[in-house]
Amino acid sequence: MLYLVYILAGIVAGVVTGLAGLSAAVVITPLLVSVCGWQSYDAVTVALSADVLASLLTAYTYYKNRNIDLKNGMLVTITAFIGSIIGSYSGYLFSQSQPDGLGYISMATTIFLGIKFLVKPIEKGHDAKSGINQISKKKILQAMFLGCAIGWICGFTGSGGGILMLTVFTLLLGYNLKVAVGTSTMIMTLIALTGAISHISMGAILQPIPMLLVTIFCLIGAYVSAKFANKCEIKKLNRIVGTCLGILGIVTILIKLI
């Protein structure tokens, strides 16, 4: 039964990563904590590890379809990298006093993301090529500052980074959803890698077989969904992802409370 949960967690996490650039942790962490009884810090470590390859594969798929802003994305990556290191250490300290705290934060984040996609879908914005010339230096600096804060959040909770990056690239920098997803997953690759290494170095307990299952099926889900997303109508993507996340968040919290 647990192995089925690992497979399901990987597939669903890969799908939301490929479709909307969300961190795989918004799916993996709640399921491992609520259904499998994992400690939050260990669950976040597995989620971040799976997120590295899933985000990298997703970013590459969007890159092939010219839906990534490499120039501005790399600037935000630098500050996000710094924030993720500090966040990972903060998350470790928090997990010592509140072992289940990170899991509950991730579950609440999942529900919020689902509602956000359903109520306020992201449908407009410019493409990667035109965006490079239209974005002011002031907005780039603001995005870099927010990138650092997002990196901290992702390192601390193991989730939330993808949707927050998506918000920065759509609302602040004005990109359309596909470019925002592609660029945010590029950034999340490094953030997740930094977070995973930090968690492991600080003593997270690794379980090779569950981690391998989650990662493999997360990659499969990310590959298929990313190819679909680059051909799909944007509003439809918002509805699909919003519904899945809302249901998942509610179910995992109910299971944990029961």
* Model pLDDT for residues 100-117, shown as the tens digit of each residue: 555 566 567 667 767 877
What pLDDT does residue 89 have? 73
Question: Could you tell me which residue, 99 or 49, shows the higher pLDDT?
Answer: 49
Q: How far is CA 4 from the centre of its chain?
A: 22
CA atoms of 34 and 203, how far apart (whole Å): 21
CA atoms of 166 and 137, how far apart (whole Å): 19
CB-neighbour burial class of residue 73 (10 A; exposed 0-12, middle 13-18, buried 19+):
buried
Query: How does residue 57 score in pLDDT terms, banded at 50, 70 and 90?
Result: very high
Centre a 10 Å sphere on the Cβ of residue 1 and count the other Cβ atoms it contains: 6
What is the DSSP-derived secondary structure letter of residue 175? B
CA atoms of 77 and 172, how far apart (whole Å): 16
The amino acid that residue 111 corresponds to is I
CA atoms of 112 and 6, how far apart (whole Å): 23
CA atoms of 9 and 24, how far apart (whole Å): 9
- Please give the share of the chain, as a percent, with pLDDT higher than 70: 82
Q: What is the mean pLDDT of the chain?
A: 80
β partners of residue 175: 126
The pLDDT tens digits for 173-219 are 888 878 888 888 988 888 888 778 877 887 778 888 999 999 999 99
CA atoms of 63 and 199, how far apart (whole Å): 29
Q: Is the pLDDT of residue 51 over 80?
A: yes
For residues 83-109, average pLDDT: 64
For residues 51-74, average pLDDT: 89
Q: Is the pLDDT of residue 80 over 90?
A: no
Question: Could you tell me which residue, 225 or 257, shows the higher pLDDT?
Answer: 225
What pLDDT does residue 87 have? 79
What pLDDT does residue 101 have? 52
Structure token digits, residue 24: 């795989």
The pLDDT tens digits for 8-35 are 999 988 988 898 787 787 788 878 887 8
Total structural domains within the chain: 1
CA atoms of 115 and 121, how far apart (whole Å): 10
**Contacts within 8 Å (CB) and 24+ apart, 253-256:** 253/30, 253/34, 253/104, 253/107, 253/108, 253/111, 255/34, 255/35, 256/33, 256/34, 256/100, 256/103, 256/104, 256/107
Return the sign of the alpha-carbon dihedral for residues 224, 229, 233, 235: positive
The pLDDT tens digits for 216-232 are 999 999 999 999 989 88
Q: Is the pLDDT of residue 146 over 80?
A: yes
For residues 147-174, average pLDDT: 76
Domain of 179 in residue numbering reads as 1-257
CA atoms of 196 and 60, how far apart (whole Å): 20
The amino acid that residue 181 corresponds to is V
* pTM, to two decimals: 0.77
What pLDDT does residue 99 have? 45
The pLDDT tens digits for 158-168 are 565 676 787 78
Query: How does residue 72 score in pLDDT terms, banded at 50, 70 and 90?
Result: confident
